[in-house]
Structure 1
Amino acid sequence: MRDLAQRCKRLLCGGLLLFSPLGEAKFAIAGYELVYDAPAETTLTASDLRSSAVVWQEMFASARTQIDIAQFYVANEPGSQLDKVIQTLRQAGERGVKIRFLMDQKGLKLSTPETLAQLKAIPGLTLRIMPFARLAGGIIHAKYLLVDGKQSFVGSQNFDWRALEHIQETGLLINDAPVVAQIAAIFNHDWAAQPLLEAGEKVPETGKGALPADLRAGRYLVASPRAWNPAGIPDSQLVLPQLLASARKRIRVQVMEYAPLSFGENRTRPFYAVIDNALRAAAARGVQVELMVANWNTKQPDIAWLKSLALVPGVTIKIVTIPEASSGFIPYARVVHSKIMTIDGELAWTGTSNWSGGYFDNSRNLELVLNDDVMAARLDALYEQLWQSRYAAPLRIDADYPAPDPGGLLRENAPRRDAP
């Protein structure tokens, strides 16, 4: 309790608890506002954190000349919070704002045709579908927005109505000019690469994998894949294990999916040891490691690897299960999807990657590293809320976990909806 009180004191003294024109509280540090979405009908609320639907609408409403959006896929539902967001985006287009929307080719299978048509009908919107697999073998998994080159949002939220209402998500509204410029450089790189890939031409490599001068100082962006990061943007796959190696007391991680495996050809799962080795090494030197994953992570062989990691002294793992909504089963929803980490109560990490192979090595993802104890304390409090909730249960080594069924394909008489 004393530790929690000290964290709350730091939040009140070091953070900025501001109020939007609508009277909503928003927690922020200089240049960064923490944004949070809680699944409806759960206790995972946070009155000092604004939702992504509110933040996205505010961003689009403020746009004067340019909006850039990169997403894996799109899925709207009439009358949803995302529907309101798209209406605000349309209003921006109608007043002359130019809109560039970049989406992954593999995301077409997950997108609803009605949403694609809705976006294409927005005045001034240009949609490009990028075959990112031709570039690096992965996908555009990053979820981010840019407005007028001055403001950005990066988070776990897909452009999906469920993300805004029935999934637990975390992101950052960014007004840090150098970081926003780097995010814009990534978007411009991929936007320019799309027609080259479509034409079968080669996209020159740009990244060198340089590290920040001091990993545990300042606030900075990291991204993947390394070879196609614009100059000066560090490689996520290089930075993350070194940050884990710098931990002295505690590492807290929440992701939807964790496994030291990659998705390979012919359904093979090549070994991907980068993160797993770093976590085991941290525990071996006495660092307390806490990991939360979604109940979608209980498939084989992933669950076997989680159990293996949980056997390491100093490692504690919990599985999070969000109950169905009172309205009934919603495919591909009711799950925790945030990708966050804190280290020693001093460093905050918020990004778009799950922690398995295929995300940090060959897919487009963005992560923010904030060496700020106030932001770390707020993320820790958010983490503890979920960790101590009735939704999080300790991983049982002896349990035979059922295969996850996020799409409801194994359910009898489950209501069917179009869903990715």
Structure 2
Amino acid sequence: MYRFLVFLAVACLCVPVRTSQSSKINIVESSPSVLHQSISESTYDAWKRLIGEAEKTIEIACFYMTLTDGESLPPELQADKGIDIFNELIRANKERNVTIRVVQQKPSLYMLNKDLEYLQKTGVASVRVLDMKKVMKGIGGILHTKFILVDGKHGYVGSANMDWRALTQIKELGILIENCTVFANDLSKIFELYWLAAENQTLPAVLPDSLKTNFNINNPMVLESEDREQIRLYISSSPLPFATQGRVFDLVAVIDTINDAKEFVYFSVMDYGPQSFYTEPTFYWPAIDTALRDAAFRNVSVHLLFSVYLHYKWETVQHWASLNALDNVRVRSIRLPQIEELSVPYTRVTHSKYLVTDKGGFVTTSNCAADYYLDTGGISVVFVGSSMVTEGLRDRFLRDWSSDWASDI
């Protein structure tokens, strides 16, 4: 089955496309101030600059938007940063006439939706909701994607939701690529697919040729950084029906990245389990787990960093222990100090989702379980070969691995 998926992923090849201009590529992070971690650029600063400098268009694909629902909280929680980003969106449209489109997962009863309702009601943004369960014909799943696309030349992809907590109270990691029309154009194809699917809550039997991509495992785009380094990458997608012609399926991308490793695999993800999490009954799903075990068998050093938090799935710890028992595998958990004085749900967790090896890297919006790959909307930026970006991912992983908040299981 894996080989068949690889065939699908590389069915459309062409001569590699190199950008004609220098692109700026940064790893951006969120880190609660209590951790006292030094980061090169924060998610807040990256988003504020992207939105604040937008001239023509802003396109956002997100799970939900709750940028303003911390407005009544004490200032030390820095919820005002979410309000600031929200106001930047309003200013972009009202003061600079920037066209804003947002596609989000269909809201549920427990999920506030007042931010997007306000943006739509006031004409700031055109909003479509995507019911992934309906699109996937009742299988389940949600739109879990998180990206921002600006002016057809700048893009952010990462773990951070459009939520004030993701800016100040949760550890997040993403990739920001600026001044690169090749990357932005490819990312826009995924946005347009979501936008199209949200119109009638279905995927057309025949998709427009404009949604095809030429960039994949065998034919990555080549970006030239400001330091003149050539960085090879492509964008993968899930679930499989959303991996349009030429687009690599996320599952193929992550397994390929692991299989290419010769020396090390470092994997940081919030939730991990070789099973389904949200399907009833749950089922065993060893695809990525098997790739990690196979890497260890090849004498590749595998380090896995999983999150422990209020809502984590304790039953998956037995799987962590099974991996940890293997030669060449070490598993650690990371647990951040909690906000004791106030009840602020869904905070103080390492929400990052990325994998780095000596041969490449994989920055994704998905946790590691069957549901996220088989019926949930997500995307990944996949780096082919070592580069300054993969070195940066490695350094950040090792920083967290050796931090006071990480411990052996």
TM bucket by the smaller chain? 0.7 to 0.9
Q: Which of 348, 357, 365 is the matching residue for 2:370?
A: 357
1:218, 1:208 → 2: CA distance?
A: 15
Q: Which of 253, 262, 265 is the matching residue for 1:251?
A: 265
2:398, 2:41 → 1: CA distance?
A: 19
Secondary structure, aligned partner of 2:282: coil
Deviation at 1:361, TM superposition (A): 2.2
Deviation at 1:192, TM superposition (A): 1.3
Deviation at 1:337, TM superposition (A): 0.5
Secondary structure, aligned partner of 2:371: coil
Equivalent position of 2:174 in the other structure: 171
Equivalent position of 1:268 in the other structure: 281
Secondary structure, aligned partner of 2:160: coil
1:317, 1:382 → 2: CA distance?
A: 17
- CA deviations on 1:276-320 (whole Å, 9 max, x unpaired) are 010011101111100001103853421111111111111101111
Equivalent position of 1:67 in the other structure: 58
2:290 is equivalent to residue 277 of structure 1: yes
2:294 is equivalent to residue 294 of structure 1: no
Equivalent position of 2:200 in the other structure: 196
Is the 8 Å Cα contact of residues 274 and 369 (structure 2) preserved in structure 1? Answer: yes
Amino acid at match of 1:358: D
Equivalent position of 2:12 in the other structure: none
2:108, 2:44 → 1: CA distance?
A: 23
194 and 139 in structure 1: CA distance in 2 versus 1, 3 angstrom threshold: same
Q: Which of 161, 180, 201 is the matching residue for 2:184?
A: 180
384 and 104 in structure 1: CA distance in 2 versus 1, 3 angstrom threshold: same
Deviation at 1:213, TM superposition (A): 1.2
2:46 is equivalent to residue 55 of structure 1: yes
2:372, 2:28 → 1: CA distance?
A: 22
TM-score (ref. length: structure 2): 0.82
- CA deviations on 1:300-349 (whole Å, 9 max, x unpaired) are 421111111111111101111100236534211100001111102x4222
Identity %: 25
Q: Which of 209, 213, 220 is the matching residue for 2:218?
A: 213
2:139 is equivalent to residue 135 of structure 1: no
Equivalent position of 1:83 in the other structure: 83
Deviation at 1:112, TM superposition (A): 2.0
2:82, 2:34 → 1: CA distance?
A: 18
Is the 8 Å Cα contact of residues 211 and 235 (structure 1) preserved in structure 2? Answer: no
| Matched pairs, number | 359
Amino acid at match of 2:59: D
Amino acid at match of 1:104: Q
Amino acid at match of 2:148: L
- 4+ residue runs over 4 A deviation: 205-211, 214-217
Amino acid at match of 1:98: T
Is the 8 Å Cα contact of residues 306 and 332 (structure 2) preserved in structure 1? Answer: yes
Amino acid at match of 2:170: I
54 and 110 in structure 1: CA distance in 2 versus 1, 3 angstrom threshold: farther
Q: Which of 38, 43, 47 is the matching residue for 1:45?
A: 38
| Residue ranges of structure 2 left out of the alignment (5+ in a row) | 1-21, 72-78, 222-230
Amino acid at match of 1:322: L
2:344 is equivalent to residue 330 of structure 1: yes
Q: How does 1:74-113 map to 2 (within 5 A)?
A: 74-75=65-66, 76=68, 77-78=70-71, 80-95=80-95, 96-105=97-106, 107-113=107-113
Equivalent position of 1:154 in the other structure: 157
Is the 8 Å Cα contact of residues 293 and 318 (structure 1) preserved in structure 2? Answer: yes
Equivalent position of 1:224 in the other structure: 238
Is the 8 Å Cα contact of residues 339 and 348 (structure 2) preserved in structure 1? Answer: yes
Q: How does 1:298-377 map to 2 (within 5 A)?
A: 299-325=313-339, 327-344=341-358, 346-370=359-383, 371-377=385-391
Secondary structure, aligned partner of 2:26: strand
Deviation at 1:209, TM superposition (A): 12
Equivalent position of 1:406 in the other structure: none
Compare 367-376 and 216-225 and name the one that shifted more.
Answer: 216-225
2:245, 2:312 → 1: CA distance?
A: 38
| Residue ranges of structure 1 left out of the alignment (5+ in a row) | 1-28, 396-420
Higher RCO, 1 vs 2 (CA within 8 Å, ≥6 residues apart):
2
Deviation at 1:121, TM superposition (A): 4.2
Secondary structure, aligned partner of 1:154: strand
Is the 8 Å Cα contact of residues 275 and 369 (structure 2) preserved in structure 1? Answer: yes
Deviation at 1:179, TM superposition (A): 2.1
